[in-house]
Amino acid sequence: MTIEVNTKINVKRKEAKTIRLVITTNGAILDVSTAICLLAFKKSKIDTIYVIEKTDTDFDKTDAIIGILRVNLSEDDLDLIPGDYIGELKLSFSVTNIDKSADIKLKVLAAVTN
pTM of the model: 0.86
CATH no. of 4-109: 2.60.40.10
Q: What sign has the CA pseudo-torsion 4, 69, 50, 56?
A: negative
Phi then psi for 47, rounded to 5 degrees?
A: -65, 145
pLDDT, averaged across the chain: 89
- Looking at residue 98, its pLDDT comes to 65
Residues 6+ apart with CB under 8 A from 70: 18, 19, 20, 21, 59, 60, 62, 63
- Looking at residue 3, its pLDDT comes to 65
The mean pLDDT of 61-68, rounded to a whole number, is 96
What tens digit of pLDDT does each residue of 10-62 get?
999 999 999 999 998 888 898 999 999 999 999 998 999 999 999 999 999 99
- Sequence spans of domains, the chain: 4-109
- HSE toward the beta carbon, residue 68, CA cutoff 13 A: 6
Strands 68-73 and 17-25: antiparallel
Which amino acid belongs to residue 104?
I
- Looking at residue 102, its pLDDT comes to 79
- HSE toward the beta carbon, residue 87, CA cutoff 13 A: 25
The mean pLDDT of 54-77, rounded to a whole number, is 96
pLDDT category of residue 111 using cuts at 50, 70 and 90: confident
